[in-house]
Amino acid sequence: MRRTLIAMCALPLVLAFFGCTPGGRGQRPARNRDNYDPGPGWTLVWSDEFNDGELDTNIWTRQVMPDPYNNELQQYTDDPENSWVEDGNLIIRAIWDGVEHGDNHYTSARIISNPGGQSGTTDADGKTFMYGKIAARIQLPTGKGTWPAFWMLGDNISETGGDTDWPMSGEIDIMESGGGGPPTFGLGTVHGTIHHDPTVDNSIGSNRYISGGALMLPDRELLGEQFRVYEVEWDEEQIVWKLDGIEFGSVSISEASRSEFHEPFYVIFNVALGGTFAVSPDEDTPFPQHMYVDWIRHYEQ
């Protein structure tokens, strides 16, 4: 999530075409059937199906960020108006204040599974992951200028009380979308990326990132027209990205220079607005915008 724009590699995917324009449909939960199958050999070891009617604050924390990274325009709050659980979904709502479009005129939510909560000092158990299949069924927002993401940070990151700064802590972007121009503003493309220690094999900047792949839907279809499953399969050798069970990228992590990816990571769901990856929202962006998370699951072999 914290990075400069990567080059997009568009691959074909044959899926049903619904037809839409950015900010059209996608503001209510879609009704497409959940046919997800993790595949042979995978055993479910943990999940949150968001069926309890409220956010499990022993696992999830609403991370407050009044001044987020990447030149993003929104403020992340712990206000239940920006995030809540309802009808079996975790809902993240991005809100415009109606005054003008620009920095600090939007609020949204960033939901993390960090043990100890925002500072790492509370009694929250959180939830970390190391290896396996991490998957979530999500309906993304569809409005111009939105930047939704489902991603992970190393549990040792200083941002939440650890002893290691980013990106040395490591980052795995399972899904992010919204980086592009008209007509879809990148909201029909899913990107997968890793970020790691820039000092071991890179001398050109503070952010060493490697694209795992990107996939663009055909016919200007938007990801947010229905629920889709975003996942990574992660082991000691590589990380593989999939959309609705279709592989669209992979990257090796067996190199000694990528040791960050053999440690526990926690999960993040968020909706950013504008910033270095997405265009800015404007009068063509209907508000509020929503991300619906039906479930998140962790499988092992």
* Chain segment 173-231, per-residue pLDDT in tens: 999 999 999 999 999 999 999 999 887 765 555 567 899 999 999 999 999 999 999 99
Rounded to whole angstroms, what are the CA distances from 219 to 93, 94, 96, 184, 214? Answer: 27, 27, 30, 10, 16
* Residue 15 confidence (pLDDT): 34
Q: Which two tokens stand for residue 134?
A: 């991490």
Q: Which CATH class is domain 43-300?
A: mainly beta
Structural domain spans, the chain: 43-300
* Residue 13 confidence (pLDDT): 37
Task: Kindly report which listed range (25-39, 197-211, 218-232, 268-282) carries the lowest average pLDDT score.
Answer: 197-211
Q: Which two tokens stand for residue 216?
A: 């663009």
Average pLDDT over residues 42-66: 97
* Residue 7 confidence (pLDDT): 33
Res. 8: pLDDT tops 50: no
Q: For residues 142 and 131, what is the distance between their CA atoms, to the nearest angstrom?
A: 31
H/E element, 137: strand 132-139
Average pLDDT over residues 268-293: 97
Average pLDDT over residues 68-80: 97
Peptide bond into 40 cis (omega under 30): no
| 214 neighbors 192 (Cβ within 8 angstroms) | yes
- Encode pLDDT of 219-230 as tens digits: 999 999 999 999
Query: Quick check: helix, strand or coil at residue 224?
Result: helix
pLDDT band at 3 (very low <50, low <70, confident <90, very high): very low
Res. 296: pLDDT tops 80: yes
The DSSP secondary-structure symbol of 218 reads: S
Active-site residue flag, 171: yes
Tell me the average pLDDT of the chain.
90
Res. 148: pLDDT tops 60: yes
Active-site residue flag, 176: yes
* Residue 197 confidence (pLDDT): 87
- Encode pLDDT of 112-132 as tens digits: 999 999 999 999 999 999 999
* Residue 21 confidence (pLDDT): 35
* Residue 17 confidence (pLDDT): 30
Distance from first CA to last CA of the chain, Å, rounded? Answer: 28
| 149 neighbors 268 (Cβ within 8 angstroms) | yes
DSSP strand pairing (74-76 vs 106-108)? parallel
Q: What is the pTM of this model?
A: 0.91
* Residue 206 confidence (pLDDT): 58
Res. 151: pLDDT tops 70: yes
Q: Which position among 72, 171, 221, 225 bears the catalytic label?
A: 171
Q: Which position among 159, 176, 221, 225 bears the catalytic label?
A: 176
The upper half-sphere exposure of residue 157, i.e. CA atoms within 13 Å in the direction of its Cβ, equals 28
Return all residues near 250 (Cβ < 8 A) that are at least 6 apart: 212, 213, 238, 239, 240, 241
Average pLDDT over residues 72-79: 98
Q: For residues 163 and 62, what is the distance between their CA atoms, to the nearest angstrom?
A: 22
